[in-house]
Amino acid sequence: MNLARLALRDLRARPAQPLLAMLLTALAVALLAALLSFVDQFDKRMVRDAAGIDLVVGAKGSPLQLVLSGVYHLDVPPGNILLAEAEALRKNRLVADVIPLALGDNYRGHRIVGAGHAYMDLYGGQLAAGRRYDEPMEAVLGSDAAKSTGLGVGARFAGTHGLGEGGHEHEEDTYEVTGVLAPTGTVLDRLILTPVESVWWLHAGHAEDDAEFEQARREVTVALVRYASPTAMVLLPRRINAETSLQAASPAFEMARLMTLLGTGRDALAALAGVLLLAAGAALVAGLMAALSARRYELAVMRMLGASRGVLFAGVLIEAALIGLSGALAGLLLGHGFLAALGTWLSVAGQPVVLPWHFAPLEFWLPPLALAAALLAGLWPAWQAARSDVAAVLARG
Amino acid sequence: MTALVELVDFVHRYPGAAPIAAPDFALAKGERLMLCGPSGCGKTTLLLALAGLLAPAQGAVRIAGKDWRTFSGAAADRRRGRLVGFVPQEPHLIAGLSIADNLRLAMYLAGTAQEEARVEAALGALGVAELAGRYPHQLSRGQQQRAALARAVVNRPPLLLADEPTASLDDGACAAALDLLFSAAGSVEAALIVATHDRRVRDRFARVLELGAIAA
């Protein structure tokens, strides 16, 4: 027999109100856990996917849209640009490297990206099977793309027009899978890569005359640029935006801007979690006070049996701690269960996969936070238990 | 014989009420004393003072030769757990704990070793050994009273205090409850002090202390 066992007995004897407090704690912790894990994964993915890309150059339009489409493959690009314009950037002394990308099709939600081998190298893509592509209409699949489509080396597939599911199929022109990449933890995992010429070839097929064919051949969607020196960070975007028909957008700047915008929503969710935690505290106080009222004679008998005021105080605090900790653990499970459901849903849609069991460093503070909140809420009932008037209770019988 | 319990010049005052006084008395191990008087005369107050839960405004309450005043806080609580067994008017067993766990709780709170042999002996002495694993709500009132008595004596206290143990019992049940109380006290050779306004039990005690409020 010990105080923890006694506290458990008390909780089991009157489960309704402790369960309510536990549930509210769990909801608050679940919200915070899901939020922290998601934001942490989002931040890390954003950093990984944009590593080695200093500037995205594409058609005029929204710079955020350009970055989201060209780096993260999350949005539709604002338009195409001439390959010649993209290649001209190589001659600029401020530029170290240029990787042109051509977008246009997808296969079961996975974008088919026309790019040179340099794009694979940018993310450290290593082959898990097969070989890299050499010819148009050959394709290498990212690890997630291969897993979700079930395609392997030697398989053939027809791309669908457009960047999302639902477009018409290029039934007459099929790709051949020549390789599958090992997981990189980057955007590469969910893409299907092919030479730029494949995209030109497919879309040239729709052209009605040679002029349109030539036009299509010479277009790409974006050019990913790496600076040659820190000076380029100041000069290059300004020059491109002011002196050419292209648009230059910095992934770091645009994502910081996006995070500022999302920050409001994130803060609102965190505030909601705070309100839930306050409600949990109030339910805890109400539950423990109601239990004390029902147990006043028990407490008096325990005092007669030798329990000190400190023991009664500690007993109530242990009950509060058990509620807080069990709520926190249930909340972590609930929060990550939600992420698991979200991850399944998003991966089905071909969007970035959310890892359900990724724990953000800040999440490890959630159980101590819930415990501290529960102990704080338990202080008043514990004090009341410790100060209970044994004489008055016993006199009443 | 050395006195186990000594009451000297006992007076206690509650705000706005007449003082409560009790005659001096001393009680040796194994002796029995009845505290009687009408409701409000201070029987429960005196029991609480004897248990060290209430410090009198005046006088001294000594158990085993030491005034409760010389102990404070947790030390007094531990001493009470080891020296005093308490039998409330209602059994008030802790719901949700088995009968054996109720006894283990008393041992835990008193800071004594939780020896299973003591639990079995206490329950056996009161004839409820077979109920050790049952829960209070599964017991009849009579069984609950026996279990509460077993809890009071499981720490083998030298002093057993009982508060109105025969209230609202018919004559037969009253005699049986008292027999049980004497048996419990006898099983650990404890001094027994019974606070009651029940005049039917007066003949069962060799020593009776009449309580009554005195003028300020």
Residue in B92, B104, B163 closest to A298 by CB: B92
Backbone angle region of A292, left / alpha / beta, with phi > 0 → left and psi within -120 to 50 → alpha: alpha
What SS3 state is found at B129? helix
Q: Residue B88 and residue A304: Cβ atoms within 8 Å? A: yes
Overall average pLDDT of the A106-122 stretch:
92
A18, HSE (Cβ side, Cα atoms, 13 Å): 24
Q: Which amino acid is at B193?
A: I
Domain that holds residue B142: 3-213
Residue in B54, B77, B167 closest to A306 by CB: B77
- Res. A306 pLDDT band, cuts 50 70 90: confident
Q: Which of A65, A43, A25 is nearest to A263 (CA)?
A: A43
Overall average pLDDT of the B143-151 stretch:
87
Q: Which amino acid is at A83?
A: L
A122 has a pLDDT exceeding 90: yes
Name the residue with higher pLDDT: A350 or B180.
Answer: B180
B210 has a pLDDT exceeding 90: no
Overall average pLDDT of the B164-174 stretch:
78
Q: Considering only A276-280, A321-325, B189-193, which range has the smallest mean pLDDT?
A: A276-280
Residue-wise pLDDT for A353-374, tens only, equals 678 888 989 899 999 999 999 9
- Res. B214 pLDDT band, cuts 50 70 90: very low
Cβ burial, residue A128 (10 Å; 0-12/13-18/19+): middle
Quote the minimal CA–CA distance from B19 to chain A in Å. 16
Q: Residue B109 and residue A310: Cβ atoms within 8 Å? A: no
B145 has a pLDDT exceeding 90: no
Which residues of chain B does A1 touch, with a Cβ-Cβ cutoff of 8 Å?
101, 104-105, 107-108, 114
What are the residues facing A114 on neighbouring strands?
A102, A194
What SS3 state is found at A252? helix
Could you give the CA distance from residue A306 to residue A299 in angstroms, rounded to a whole number? 11
The rounded mean pLDDT for chain A is 86
Q: Residue A255 has what pLDDT?
A: 86
Give the number of domains in chain B.
1
Q: Residue A247 has what pLDDT?
A: 93
Name the residue with higher pLDDT: A167 or A144.
Answer: A144
Question: For chain A, what percent of residues have pLDDT higher than 70?
Answer: 92
A230 has a pLDDT exceeding 80: yes
- Res. B161 pLDDT band, cuts 50 70 90: very high
Q: Residue A367 has what pLDDT?
A: 93
Q: Which residues contact B174 (CB under 8 A, 6 or more apart)?
A: B166, B198, B200, B201
- Model-wide pTM > 0.80: no
Q: Residue B103 has what pLDDT?
A: 92
| Neighbour tally for A341: CB within 10 Å | 12
Q: Which of A139, A168, A166 is nearest to A154 (CA)?
A: A139
**Strand order, beta sheet including B32-36:** B84-87, B159-163, B191-196, B32-36, B207-210
Which residues of chain B does A12 touch, with a Cβ-Cβ cutoff of 8 Å?
96
Q: Which of A198, A175, A42, A154 is nearest to A108 (CA)?
A: A175
Which residues of chain A does B78 touch, with a Cβ-Cβ cutoff of 8 Å?
306, 308
B54 has a pLDDT exceeding 60: yes
| Neighbour tally for A234: CB within 10 Å | 11
Which residues of chain B does A18 touch, with a Cβ-Cβ cutoff of 8 Å?
none
Q: Is B122 on the interface with A (CB under 8 A)?
A: no
Question: For chain A, what percent of residues have pLDDT higher than 90?
Answer: 40
Contact A326, B101 (CB under 8 A): no
Which residues of chain B does A309 touch, with a Cβ-Cβ cutoff of 8 Å?
73, 77
Instruction: Dump the DSSP string for A274-331.
Output: HHHHHHHHHHHHHHHHHHHHHTHHHHHHHHHTT--HHHHHHHHHHHHHHHHHHHHHHH
Could you give the CA distance from residue A113 to residue A188 in angstroms, rounded to a whole number? 10
CA–CA distances in Å: residue A391 to residues A112, A171, A301, B41, B214: 81, 90, 11, 14, 20
User: Among all residues of chain A, which has the CA nearest to that of B92?
Assistant: A298
DSSP annotation of B52 = T
Name the residue with higher pLDDT: A104 or A341.
Answer: A341
The CATH number for B174's domain is 3.40.50.300
Q: Which of A373, A366, A369 is nearest to A285 (CA)?
A: A373
Overall average pLDDT of the A199-207 stretch:
70
Could you give the CA distance from residue B161 to residue A301 in angstroms, rounded to a whole number? 12
A350 has a pLDDT exceeding 60: no
Which residues of chain A does B151 touch, with a Cβ-Cβ cutoff of 8 Å?
305
| Neighbour tally for B1: CB within 10 Å | 9
- Res. B216 pLDDT band, cuts 50 70 90: very low
Q: Residue B215 has what pLDDT?
A: 37
Quote the minimal CA–CA distance from A314 to chain B in Å. 13
Q: What are phi and psi of B67, to 5 degrees?
A: -70, 140
Q: Which residues contact A326 (CB under 8 A, 6 or more apart)?
A: A22
Q: Residue A3 has what pLDDT?
A: 83
Q: Residue A208 has what pLDDT?
A: 52
Residue in B86, B92, B105 closest to A6 by CB: B105
Q: Residue B130 has what pLDDT?
A: 92
Could you give the CA distance from residue B86 to residue B28 in angstroms, rounded to a whole number? 18
Q: Considering only A55-64, A67-76, A93-102, A268-277, which range has the smallest mean pLDDT?
A: A268-277
Could you give the residue ranges of the DSSP H alpha helices within B51-140?
A: 73-83, 99-110, 116-125
Residue-wise pLDDT for A253-305, tens only, equals 888 888 888 778 878 888 888 888 888 888 888 888 888 887 888 888 888 88
Q: Residue A211 has what pLDDT?
A: 59
Token duo for residue A124? 């450290």
What are the residues facing B194 on neighbouring strands?
B34, B162
Name the residue with higher pLDDT: A151 or B114.
Answer: A151
Which residues of chain A does B101 touch, with a Cβ-Cβ cutoff of 8 Å?
1
Binning chain A into helix, strand and coil, the percentages to the nearest 5 are 60, 15, 25
Q: Residue B213 has what pLDDT?
A: 46
HEC readout, A40-81: HHHHHHHHHHCCCCCEEEEECCCHHHHHHHHCCCCCCCCCCE
Q: Residue A171 has what pLDDT?
A: 67
Q: Residue A304 and residue B77: Cβ atoms within 8 Å? A: no
Place of tokens 């269960």: A337
Q: Residue A164 has what pLDDT?
A: 63
Quote the minimal CA–CA distance from A12 to chain B in Å. 8
Name the residue with higher pLDDT: B170 or A29.
Answer: A29
Could you give the CA distance from residue A248 to residue A61 in angstroms, rounded to a whole number? 10
CA–CA distances in Å: residue A264 to residues A32, A66, A190, A258, A277: 15, 23, 29, 11, 20
Contact A176, A139 (CB under 8 A): yes
B107 has a pLDDT exceeding 70: yes
Q: Which residues contact A292 (CB under 8 A, 6 or more apart)?
A: A299, A316, A381, A384, A385, A388
CA angle A68, A72, A76 (to 5 degrees): 45
Please state the ipTM of this predicted complex: 0.83
Q: Which amino acid is at B127?
A: G
A77 has a pLDDT exceeding 60: yes
Q: Which of A107, A137, A113, A109 is nearest to A125 (CA)?
A: A113
Overall average pLDDT of the A58-72 stretch:
91
Could you give the CA distance from residue B153 to residue A37 in angstroms, rounded to a whole number? 56
Q: Considering only A194-208, B31-45, B142-156, which range has the smallest mean pLDDT?
A: A194-208
Contact A167, A161 (CB under 8 A): yes
A328 has a pLDDT exceeding 90: yes
Residue-wise pLDDT for A146-168, tens only, equals 998 999 999 999 988 876 666 66
Quote the minimal CA–CA distance from B55 to chain A in Å. 11
Token duo for residue B4? 């186990």
Residue in A12, A306, A397 closest to B89 by CB: A397
B54-80 as b/e, with b when 16 or more CB fall inside 10 Å? bebeebbbbbeeeebeebeeeebbbbb
Overall average pLDDT of the B105-123 stretch:
87
Q: Which of A103, A199, A184 is nearest to A145 (CA)?
A: A184
DSSP annotation of A93 = T
